[in-house]
């Protein structure tokens, strides 16, 4: 993002629309207690499931317009994901919402203590363009499960999906509790001026800093999912044929526009010479000899991102792919070899179908290289060595780790999804999402009798001794 674009974001408030009335209406609805009701939450989550099932064809078409997504990718990573997330939350809603008893020490007896989950209030969810349905509505499912009202702001860079969300949400969900705001920088800037009770933002680190600065004015907590350069370490003992297939799938799904895609490979020279041809074989098996003609391969979201990605193709020797077509927003699945660690392609998250291979002769060297950069959203290692696995898990700090595969941790509902450091903060999937959008209120109830005099003045040495024993 250019400096002028950042300035536009920061200076756009003056010309931005005013959503104060929308926010106050949602606040009033929340204060009425409507969204707290478990039956309401259950009904809204069921409606979200139904929306995914009944409008699958329209959603698939919108995702194809925006990103050229194949129907299978649209279903697995977007439609089914959102519907499944809503179903998962709905089935566990009552258990999550129950008070959670905690131990009450002797000094506080007779009494009982518990944590009471309560909704935060009115929350803002700012979605992203690469998975424009999933990264908007999965967060909404968590917010609904926790009993909140919400404003959702889909990405303007996926206009067909944004328009469809704006059309469908009022038809299926309670418009007094859930509102959609479309638009770009002015609309987002105006929303960020409001004192929301929580903000979930998915996107890049530059905008995340603006979101945090705006949230700080209202002491609004934030959850950030930001991505980063997710490394993929391949050791010589890995099953290289399976490794190649799984890396190719993780990297080139959605034309590489995935925040948890393997960003680059770290491996030694001998392993590289065997692995790269196998990645080429995997690409051909998935997309054919001409991926541009494949119904299974997507397109770059817009010309600006196409131009950015095209400028990175010269960062190494093009071993596989390299073809491009600006009018069609097409960049072939590409593997670069001979990539220097200070090259342009290694300076920021690629977010496209370009896979650099960086030489790293040992696991020690790979770990040091990863740790010298920002903490990534995902970290991948392929090996049969359990000691190497343990070292990678313990020594590489990242949001999520997957051993001998890519991205598949997203299929596990019980795992949190979120970043650490520059790759984000907080989590919003499953029960972790419920907790993100809830306040775990501490509650204690005391009995009236007996009311021991130990804690009251005047303080005596005997009281002091007794209290020390009770503690």
Burial of 351-369, coded b for 16+ CB within 10 Å and e otherwise, reads: bbbbbbbbbbeebeebbeb
Catalytic residue among 89, 177, 232, 259: 259
Q: Is 225 a catalytic residue?
A: yes
284: Cβ–Cβ under 8 A, 6 or more apart, which residues?
none
Q: Exactly one of 49, 225, 272, 431 is catalytic; which is it? A: 225
Only one residue has tokens 């603006």, namely 210
Report the candidate in 117, 182, 156, 167 with the shortest Cα–Cα distance to residue 441: 117
Paired tokens of 126: 């700012």
Q: Which pair of structure tokens corresponds to residue 224?
A: 């950030």
**Sign of torsion, CA 120 124 126 131?**
positive
Q: Are 445 and 108 in contact (CB under 8 A)?
A: no
Which residues are identified as catalytic?
Answer: 225, 259
């Amino acid at each position: 993002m250019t400096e002028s674009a950042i300035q536009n974001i920061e200076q756009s408030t003056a010309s931005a629309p005013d959503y104060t009335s929308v926010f106050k209406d949602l606040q009033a609805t929340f204060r009425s207690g409507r969204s707290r009701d478990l039956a309401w939450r259950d009904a809204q989550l069921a409606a979200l499931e139904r929306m995914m099932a009944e409008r699958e064809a329209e959603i698939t078409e919108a995702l194809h317009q925006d990103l050229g997504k194949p129907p299978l990718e649209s279903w697995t990573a977007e439609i089914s994901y959102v519907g499944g997330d809503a179903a998962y939350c709905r089935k566990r809603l009552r258990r999550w919402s129950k008070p959670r008893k905690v131990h009450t020490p002797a000094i506080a007896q007779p009494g009982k203590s518990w944590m009471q989950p309560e909704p935060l209030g009115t929350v803002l969810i700012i979605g992203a363009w690469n998975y424009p349905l999933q990264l908007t509505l999965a967060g909404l499912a968590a917010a609904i499960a926790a009993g909140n009202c919400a404003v959702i702001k889909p990405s303007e860079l996926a206009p067909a999906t944004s328009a469809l969300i704006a059309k469908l949400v009022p038809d299926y969900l309670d418009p007094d509790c859930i509102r959609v705001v479309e638009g770009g920088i002015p609309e987002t800037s105006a929303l960020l001026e409001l004192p929301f009770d929580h903000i979930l933002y998915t996107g890049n680190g530059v905008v995340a800093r603006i979101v945090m600065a705006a949230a700080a004015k209202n002491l609004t907590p934030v959850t950030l999912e930001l991505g980063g350069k997710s490394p993929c370490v391949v050791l010589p003992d890995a099953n290289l044929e399976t490794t190649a297939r799984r890396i190719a799938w993780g990297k080139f799904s959605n034309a590489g526009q995935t925040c948890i895609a393997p960003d680059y490979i770290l491996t030694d020279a001998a392993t590289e010479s065997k692995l790269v041809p196998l990645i080429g074989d995997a690409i051909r098996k998935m997309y054919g000899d001409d991926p541009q003609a494949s119904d299974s391969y997507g397109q770059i979201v817009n010309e600006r991102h196409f131009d950015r990605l095209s400028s990175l193709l010269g960062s190494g020797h093009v071993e596989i792919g390299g073809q491009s077509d600006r009018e069609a927003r097409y960049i072939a699945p590409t593997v670069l070899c001979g990539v220097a660690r200070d090259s342009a392609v290694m300076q920021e998250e690629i977010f496209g179908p370009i896979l650099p291979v960086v030489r790293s002769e040992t696991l020690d060297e790979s770990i040091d290289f990863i740790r010298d950069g920002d903490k990534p959203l995902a970290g991948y290692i392929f090996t049969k060595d359990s000691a190497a696995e343990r070292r990678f898990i313990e020594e590489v700090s990242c949001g999520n780790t997957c051993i001998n595969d890519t991205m598949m941790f997203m299929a596990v509902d019980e795992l949190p999804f979120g970043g650490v450091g520059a790759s984000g903060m907080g989590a919003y999937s499953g029960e972790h999402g419920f907790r993100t959008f809830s306040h775990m209120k501490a509650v204690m109830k005391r009995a009236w009798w007996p009311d021991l005099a130990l804690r009251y003045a005047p303080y005596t040495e005997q009281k002091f001794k007794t209290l020390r024993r009770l503690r």
